[in-house]
Structure 1
Amino acid sequence: MGAGLFSGVGTLLLPGLALLAQDWRLLQGLSALATGLLLLFWGYPALFPESPCWLLATGQLARARKILWHLSEASGVDPENGPEEESSLATELDILSAGSPQPQHHCILELRHTHVTWRNGLILGFSSLVGGGIRASFLRRLSPHEGVFYGPYFLVAALEMAATIFLLLTVDRWGRRLILLLGTLVVGLASLLLLAGAQYLPGWTVLSLSVLGLVASQAVSTLSSLFAAEIFPTVTRGAGLGLVLGAGFLGQAAAPLANMHGRRGFFLQHVVFASFAILALLCVLLLPESRGRGLPHSLQDADRLRRSPLLRGHPCQDHLPLLPPSHCRTQTQLV
């Protein structure tokens, strides 16, 4: 969510940077320089270390132990002589590292052997595709006249930040699935109303529906990514999240198709994505609720995230083990 806010701020600052640069080559060079600074995170692992959770889940115990010890020392905690829970973790890591286990890397294609996780990922990728693709339809209604640029540009950037703030205030209170369902419902209703009555509705109504649709579509895209990070297991979380984000960018890439064959292309694209929004609304009902549940570490843990009642008072508190079950069994055998 914080990264989304920074992205919105960068979008708002881009016209000012372009005004200062006065040349697109200089602007491109400044953007490349700012992006190149991110290479520092690769060159200095201490600034951005690898995830210990992922290292433990994939069996890279020595690297995980090194990072955990570094974090403990930086926090002023001695894991060897600390509290009982920390000492037991240190002992378990020492025992498991003694056998020099081989890392167990996983591929995203292993999801096809799961019963539930592949379906959850497919639904979230589809919702991200719809959220990214239907945005062009609302934007077209927002700026019907050619030559109007800066107003819609700043408005869209501000609406993206508004959608992120809305998610910050709601998803931890009412749950991910309910808010995703609400966002998909708003997208579908707004698109159908614009599709059926844009010629008969007053201008302020069309503008309001377009603004509401833009906020909802941005919320659906962002929440699909957050949801995917909590649905996919640790061993394949990065690849699964990348697929969901890629589906959203694929939907955005379909925006130029609206300009093909004049108004016919725009109408056809609007019809297709409005239909997709209704279908996504039904698919979201099949998702589990991840609020208040521990992150799944293995494919088996992710398959246990099954669909639960839509409205429930208190989320289920699942405290999944940090180490995979196979490691726990190995420790038992060693002891």
Structure 2
Amino acid sequence: MWLGLSALATGLLLLFWGFPAMFPESPCWLLATGQPARARRILWHFAKASGVDPENSTEEESSLAMELDVLCAGHPQPRHHSVLELRHTHVTWRNALILGFSSLISGGIRASFLHSLVPSEPSFYWPYFLAAGLEAAATVFLLLTADLWGRRSVLLLSTLVLVLASQLLLAGAQYLPSWMVLFLSVLGLLASQTVSALSSLFSAEIFPTVIRGAGLGLVLGAGFLGQAAVPLTTMHGRHGFFLQHVLFASFALLALLCVLLLPESRGRTLPQSLQEADRLCRSPLLRGCPRQDLLPLLPASLPGAGTQLAQEG
């Protein structure tokens, strides 16, 4: 049943492939890849839909329109990028590897917490409804803390809770009271959901615009690959479950150490190119990163972009 519903939802999404007007391309991505003409058409469409006439606008908007006209007159060639270009970077590939690894571990270790939550076969699917509720709670927790404490600090805290819960369950599940096992299982599930969601948010802010979609897809794919370990807990016998728990608990400790190598993306402008993403420095953990102004609409990497802004400055 669930497989049929997933296939139906995927089929409905594929129907929108032939309706680009409903889901237009991102103007920021078009500008970053050297396609100002398409970006201009989409921006003008947005302006007219909002009741704004691009020809009779403010001085700032007129300068933006002039800049777009200059870029379109040059007929630049589109510069498409591939996620494989990460191998030529010095820092971005490491950040991608850490976030993908964290997403993989958080998705795979849920099987251990679900098994500790319900040691025998459940008569109803309440553990999975509980996991869905904890995912909503993790989202609310991120909304309250990610901007206040920073992405890296919250990811480090969530991974630490994940490691402690998994290690305590691994070492003393047979000796702890049932309420403590239940508490650690719920806490571990909540932490794993938080790490998974925050890894996706983090990757969207660390990957440059030219490959942001592909990079985010890699991190999400790693999380789904980790979740493939969850059905192993329903197999008869479960002889290899203890080894599976040990493996993921050990990797979670390694992920905790790797998170310290990530930069803090809170308050920073989104990188446009691979070169800008490679310059994301790793700020001190407790000090964070100073907030910067929002990213200008036209990336400076395009030919002619920013000349008008420089003249006004």
Residue of structure 2 in register with 1:124 after alignment? 99
What are the superposed Cα offsets for residues 66-96 of structure 1, whole Å, 9 maximum, x if unpaired?
0000101111222233122211111111111
Does 1:148 find its partner at 2:126? no
- Amino acid aligned to 2:60: E
Kept after mapping to 1: 8 A contact 2:54/2:61: yes
- Structure 1 unaligned residues grouped into runs of 5+: 1-23
Q: Secondary structure at the match of 1:326?
A: coil
Kept after mapping to 1: 8 A contact 2:268/2:292: yes
Instruction: Give the Cα–Cα distance (whole angstroms) in 2 for the partners of residues 47 and 172 of structure 1.
Output: 31
Kept after mapping to 2: 8 A contact 1:297/1:322: no
- Superposed, which structure 2 residues align to 1:46-195 within 5 Å? 46-195=21-170
Q: Secondary structure at the match of 1:144?
A: coil
Task: Give the TM-score normalised by structure 1.
Answer: 0.86
Deviation for aligned residue 1:29: 5.5
Greater share of residues in helix: 1
Kept after mapping to 1: 8 A contact 2:152/2:264: yes
Kept after mapping to 2: 8 A contact 1:130/1:277: yes
Task: Give the TM-score normalised by structure 2.
Answer: 0.92
Instruction: Give the Cα–Cα distance (whole angstroms) in 2 for the partners of residues 188 and 117 of structure 1.
Output: 26
Kept after mapping to 1: 8 A contact 2:138/2:193: yes
- Amino acid aligned to 2:133: A
Does 1:309 find its partner at 2:287? no
Kept after mapping to 2: 8 A contact 1:138/1:214: yes
Does 1:206 find its partner at 2:188? no
Does 1:227 find its partner at 2:202? yes
Instruction: Give the Cα–Cα distance (whole angstroms) in 2 for the partners of residues 72 and 199 of structure 1.
Output: 64
* 273-282 vs 305-314, which moves further: 305-314
Instruction: Give the Cα–Cα distance (whole angstroms) in 2 for the partners of residues 187 and 57 of structure 1.
Output: 38
Cα separation, partners in 2 of 1:35 and 1:288, compared to 1, 3 Å: same
- Superposed, which structure 2 residues align to 1:266-281 within 5 Å? 266-281=241-256
Instruction: Give the Cα–Cα distance (whole angstroms) in 1 for the partners of residues 3 and 281 of structure 2.
Output: 46
Kept after mapping to 1: 8 A contact 2:300/2:306: no
Instruction: Give the Cα–Cα distance (whole angstroms) in 2 for the partners of residues 253 and 31 of structure 1.
Output: 16
What are the superposed Cα offsets for residues 14-38 of structure 1, whole Å, 9 maximum, x if unpaired?
xxxxxxxxxx4xx765654444333
- Amino acid aligned to 1:164: T
Kept after mapping to 2: 8 A contact 1:260/1:266: no
Q: Secondary structure at the match of 1:327?
A: coil
Does 1:288 find its partner at 2:263? yes
What are the superposed Cα offsets for residues 291-322 of structure 1, whole Å, 9 maximum, x if unpaired?
11111111111111111111226633154443
Instruction: Give the Cα–Cα distance (whole angstroms) in 1 for the partners of residues 155 and 103 of structure 2.
Output: 11
* RMSD between superposed Cα atoms in Å: 2.2
